[in-house]
Chain A
Amino acid sequence: MAVFRFKTPVSEEDVRKLKIGDIIYVTGTLVTARDEAHKRALEYYEKGEKLPIDFEGVALYHCGPIIKKINDEWITVAAGPTTSTRMELFEAEFIEKFKVRIIIGKGGMGKKTAEACKKYGAVYCAFTGGAAVLAAEAIKKVKSVEWLDLGMPEALWVFEVENFGPLTVAIDTYGNNLYHEVMSKVEANKKEIYERLGLKKEE
């Protein structure tokens, strides 16, 4: 397990150094995107329309933050990660089309995303679920917001962050998926637990 500190834009070469279990901290530009923003970005691409943000090399964050406007300035109140599996529908294509290098969320992602990470050079990192204030503290400034018509949680929030983390690399560019590794161990442990408690095994 190694600790890395990255500044955006992050290159493909940078992320190809990482292995599952490594810890990273990101400084630079972080953009939030949930289901709706992923969907719209890919629709824009289809139609050949220009996106309001260049995603290449930035960190993409699965997050629907609480933001307050005080005297014309956006203040981040809480910004923890949301469940990433919902974005599995879009993420592989998103990585391919927009060359995003670091994806941050919680709960893990599936096979399609892992394959895209390997092929195009990206990593998926876990940020501690619910650690909303820790995240907000690392957000130094709201640089801009796009697609606010999607609502506060679904909009693209462009944050300037400093040492955003700790982020645990959970999918690397070698096809490894930390969540899948843990869950296969869990399945094996479950059998032992059943035996110890004298429970019937699954038919």
Chain B
Amino acid sequence: MNLVQKIEDTTVNLLRLAVTRLPRDVKDALKAAYERETDQTAKTQLKAILDNITLAEKTERPMCQDTGVIIFYVKICDKFEEISGLSEILKTATVRATREIPLRPNAVHPITQKNSGDNTGRYIPYINWEIIQGNFLEITVFPKGGGSENMSRLGMLKPGEGVEGMKKFVIDTVVQAGGQPCPPIILGVGIGGGADIAMKLAKKALLRPITQRHPDPEIAKIEEELLEAINETGIGPMGLGGKTTSLGVNIEYAHRHPASYPVGVVVQCWAARKATARIYPDGTVEYLTHEVGEK
């Protein structure tokens, strides 16, 4: 068994799974939203989304033409040895997935405006590394769409504004975005740390299933409160009005500097694509987000 090949193949498969099948929590939330809506326009939008999801699964085609910028979250274990050259393996898998699935080439040089054509470039795919204990390699693919990313914001609030200011910043971000990020949206909120840390935590918060509240009951309460408030805005699916503006709010936090109160908000469209698998030294692959056998 060639472990390097196994990692590459699994990564290509994860990218395929992510762009063609939504995780169960998001799918269930969209179905529940369709049942709950009474507004005909909102119902029409949600029905189109649900039909689109079913068709994407059936035909194995990307559910949205914007297959995003490719981001990886990788957990490396101290007892998993095959880690040298891992970033090259992930890059190769990205190029292969772009050709085979296909994915839209979304990596553009910011000065020359040249599209690399294969979803790779400087720092792209972007890889977040974490070292943990254990004997496996965990790879999460997180293709992030541009339309919703454009509505993301960082607020460097005054500590005096505190929790109240944070809630207001989140609600204002959603209202300002309106229908542009393709609602129903999911919000990742990162509080504290520093400018970069708040944004990183906000994006990382989106990895948690929307059915799972933060373990800290105080934070969990704020997540629920914000979700309810956002759905009362009436923006609705695609900004055409209705009860469903958001499917979930996930918060992460870090301790902050006494003089700073950073709040990062990352906006995720309804096509909340991600897929995770664990690869063990003997080549066994365990998929954590999708119910599938190996391909």
Q: Is the CB of A193 within 8 A of B229?
A: yes
Q: Is the CB of B164 within 8 A of A186?
A: no
| Interface residue stretch chosen among B69-77, B173-181, B281-289 | B173-181
Contacts of A137 in B (CB 8 A): 55
Bound-complex Cα distance A61 to B251 (A): 37
Contacts of B45 in A (CB 8 A): 128, 168
Contacts of B61 in A (CB 8 A): 77-78, 132-133, 136
| Interface residue stretch chosen among A38-46, A91-99, A155-163, A177-185 | A177-185
Q: Identify which of residues 125-175 in chain A touch chain B, using a CB-to-CB cut-off of 8 Å.
A: 126-134, 136-137, 153, 166, 168, 170
| Interface residue stretch chosen among B4-12, B208-216, B230-238, B257-265 | B230-238
Tell me the number of A-to-B contacts counted with CB atoms below 8 Å: 148
| Interface residue stretch chosen among B46-54, B87-95, B133-141, B198-206 | B46-54
Q: Is the CB of A199 within 8 A of B232?
A: no
The size bracket of the interface on A is 35 or more
Q: Is the interface of A mostly helix, strand, loop or mixed?
A: mixed
> What's the minimum C-beta distance from B267 to chain A, rounded to whole angstroms?
13
Contacts of A83 in B (CB 8 A): 147, 180
**B102: which of A23, A68, A132, A181 is its contact (CB, 8 Å)?**
A68
Residues on B close to A: CB < 8 A?
A: 40-41, 44-45, 47-49, 51-52, 55-56, 59, 61-66, 102, 104, 145, 147, 164, 167-168, 171, 175, 178-180, 182, 225, 229, 232-241, 269-271
Residues on A close to B: CB < 8 A?
A: 1, 21, 23, 63-66, 68, 77-80, 83, 85, 106-108, 126-134, 136-137, 153, 166, 168, 170, 178-179, 181-183, 185-187, 189-190, 192-194, 196-200
Cross-chain pairs A/B with CB under 8 angstroms, 11 sampled: A66-B102, A78-B64, A131-B49, A133-B63, A168-B240, A170-B240, A181-B241, A182-B234, A183-B235, A186-B235, A189-B234
